[in-house]
């Protein structure tokens, strides 16, 4: 089974975002299997220097691999916009 992946790209993070990011409070072993990446995020909640150690600062190529319809198999479930 694939491990969880979380990617924030081009995201405005307000101050409501906890600077430490994601934490497996009840099972710290999950920190070894989760992928948590950030690319080009801005705002007061985007302070990567305060994130948990397993947060990754990813590059443009890696971020783009998560930003395609192919990654989420979008052609199977996303409907085209209505024609007016």
pLDDT higher than threshold 80 for residue 12: yes
**Quick check: 34 and 6 in contact, CB under 8 A?**
yes
Residue 82 lies in a domain: no
Summarize pLDDT for 27-69 with one digit per residue, the tens: 777 777 888 899 999 999 888 888 888 889 999 999 999 999 8
pLDDT higher than threshold 80 for residue 25: no
Residue 9 lies in a domain: yes
Residue 81 lies in a domain: no
Residue-range definition of the domain harbouring residue 58:
5-75
Residue 19 lies in a domain: yes
Domain count, the chain: 1
Q: What is the pLDDT of residue 8?
A: 93
* CA 25 vs CA 31, 55, 66: distances in Å: 10, 15, 26
| Average of per-residue pLDDT across 67-76 | 89
**pTM of the predicted model as reported, rounded to 2 decimal places:** 0.75
Residue 36 lies in a domain: yes
pLDDT higher than threshold 60 for residue 1: no
């Amino acid at each position: 089974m694939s491990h969880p992946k979380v990617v924030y790209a081009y995201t405005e993070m307000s101050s409501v975002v906890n600077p430490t990011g994601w934490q497996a409070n009840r099972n710290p072993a999950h920190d070894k299997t989760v992928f948590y990446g950030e690319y080009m995020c801005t705002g007061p909640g985007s302070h990567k220097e305060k994130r948990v150690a397993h947060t990754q600062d990813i590059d443009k190529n890696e971020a783009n691999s998560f930003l395609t319809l192919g990654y989420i198999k979008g052609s199977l479930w996303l409907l085209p916009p209505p024609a007016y």
